[in-house]
Amino acid sequence: MNKQFIKNYDKNDLVKFCENNKIEKYRSHQIFQELYYHKRKKFNEFKSLPIELRSLLNEKFDLYSLKIKKLRKSKDGSIKFLFELNDGKLVESVYMPWYSDDFNEIERITLCVSTMAGCPVECAFCATGTLGFQRNLTVAEIIDQVIIVENEVGSKISNIVFMGMGEPLLNYNNVKKAISIFTHSDSNFFSRKKITLSTVGITEKIKQLADEDNPPKLALSLHATTNGFRQKIIPLSKKTTLKSIMDAIEYYYRKTGMPITYEYIPFDGLNDTDNDAKRLARILKRVPSKVNLIPFNDISFALPNIVGQNLKPTPKDKILVFGNKIKEYGGKVTIRDTFGTDIEAACGQLALYDKS
């Protein structure tokens, strides 16, 4: 008999499992807490359960859906985890410690989580798209990234960002279910305000997510202020427009009350002009929001397409000028540092590459 991965089960699923096996309903709550609050490493450690139930769980389920194949540590403290899935496919996650100004202590730990093996979106600035789409990750595979990294580093993750491999809203049901487990009052993970989901702009799914019980913070991978340039660097945007995306973003803010984050990579001479700064500031004023200006990281190792090869990063001094222009026009701006460039773990670099 093929075992199932138990972390694909939320609390309702565990209730049904207990009902189907003629087990008292309250045991579902105990199983849930052993899995997600205590994060036990073996079924025989589920001490709140009788031995017979522990044996049944061990017979029917596997506790872990992926395993660490390799990890690489950066000089900045970040760690890239290469995970092997049960079918042999590979995904990556990135552990990012944020230090205090004096670098004496870690203030928070963020994990960049993947939702797909590969990605179908093929953004010109992102190496992951060169892998193509392989499959969606299951709920268990999403959750296990967090649990296994916590076990490995010996520290609790304080924030997660769905910014790893894949477009989260194209794996909507599994991502939604994982978020519901992460934010459940009986689990020991995160509040919804400690979770950020990044999307290129799947408008109907943005609206659908806004209507869920515990919607996370939303980040839009914007990178352009005109439809023409955006369609060149994000092929999927040919199916939508900036106006329709902004309508969905406004709906999300009105429903959730949470400010929006825009992600924007400045490309030299292409989307970093004064007019871009004006348009971007106008976008930022529509609902409470900010823009993160992110440096364009090298993806030449992944053999990018012709458009990607023609994209050049805006120099750091010009990014500062561009950011100041956006501020002058009334927008809120953060210029982001980059984690893990020396281990190909920075934004846009996740493509299973290892030059070490």
Q: Is 126 a catalytic residue?
A: no
> Which of the residues 18, 34, 92, 141 is marked catalytic?
92
At residue 319, what is the residue type?
I
Cα of 220 vs its chain's centroid, Å:
12
Count CB-CB contacts under 10 A for residue 89.
Answer: 17
Closest CA to 221 of 348, 109, 332, 345: 348
DSSP letters, 94-123, are EEEEEEPTTSSSEEEEEEE---EEE-SS--
Backbone φ and ψ of 158, nearest 5°? -100, -25
How many CA atoms, within 13 angstroms, populate the side-chain half-sphere of residue 283? 29
Backbone φ and ψ of 72, nearest 5°? -130, 135
> Which of the residues 112, 123, 126, 347 is marked catalytic?
347
- The Cα 171–Cα 166 span in angstroms is 8
C-alpha distances in angstroms, 56 versus 8, 26, 49?
17, 16, 11
Q: Is 92 a catalytic residue?
A: yes
Residues with a known catalytic role: 92, 347
